[in-house]
Structure 1
Amino acid sequence: MINIKNNLKDLRLSKNLTQQELANQLNLLLLEGMKPISKMNISNWENGKHSIKPDIARLLANYFEVPLSYLLGYEKEINSALYETLPTVIQKTDEQYEYYLELYKAAVIEANNQLDNVVQALNPEKQFSFEKISEFLIALAGEITKLETSSEALLKLKDIQIQNITMKHEFEQFKNYFENK
């Protein structure tokens, strides 16, 4: 359970909403099966008397277009050092992604070549030795391992890229909120 601090009240007042108006607007955004929000819920959250579920906290943060951490009172200002290094982190992640993408592409080409070798070796007219066929199969297995390793790295890096973009977006929301206040 997350305890909402006074930032909820500040955000509500910045939109010139009463507690009832905010409750009504939030209820329109609730997913099926979620419990309706009342004026009393809003009051209790603003005064720190009750905790709310994380899904409602995210709904509130999205509604007010602020980072969840600001809504919850965890942040009062942007961590400028992190904000300034974020573009470098994004660039390095993108560079790593491109590196592994090139490895993946090269492994696809080499795996296809090795597969062609195996198919050729299995042709009865070619008369390849068992040892040579084994060499081709081992080489193919090696390329498949490279494909697996590079694809796993690509998936992890894609997740990191998404996290970086989300973090950048939240920083920008946070910054814009205070610049427009």
Structure 2
Amino acid sequence: MTLDECTIWVTDLSCLIAASTVVPMEVFQEESLHKLLVKHVRKLLMSDRVDRLKSILIFLLHSVGLFDMALQASILLALHDAFDHLFRHWFRDVRFCYHLVLLYLFGDRRQLGSRSDAILLGLDTDIVVLQRHPLWLQFDERLLDALEGCRSATRTTPYDRTSFNEYIGQLEHYYQSAESLPDGEAVPIPRIKVQAPNSRGG
């Protein structure tokens, strides 16, 4: 399967999921397909093409929770490894989609013990005592490191501050939406649809 074929396949699956169509997720439990999917997800997440990045991020946003635990772990690791490429991406829509992945794939954020959330929202809490959820820990560390980089003239990149400003806005929206929900109940994942690609990277 070529990357273009994989992109089309992922886009088709994204549209089915966004339309609440039943997708037979048991097909992803086959080990060979599991490895193939993770391989292509990694390639797509590091692509220079905006259409590929948006398609795969929207697909993962809507489908990771449906995968078995082993596949979820592999996909989360791929998303973590692509942090620098996606969080600092030059194209706003790519950053937007990656922010949604960070915000909505980990359940109720109020239960994550997220130190980055506490800092970015200016919460009156001792971040050192926060017990971070194991699945969120590595992403939390990447966000804290990127935030520290924003304060350094030598480590910051052109899109660091822009991305954090956008991320904080979405983070605030998440917590506002969560105010009416009981503890343990996550804010529903926004339904994002893949549109025809109009922009590509270099």
> TM-score range with shorter-chain normalisation?
under 0.3
> Structure 1 length as normaliser, TM-score?
0.23
Of Structure 1 and Structure 2, the greater helix share is in: 1
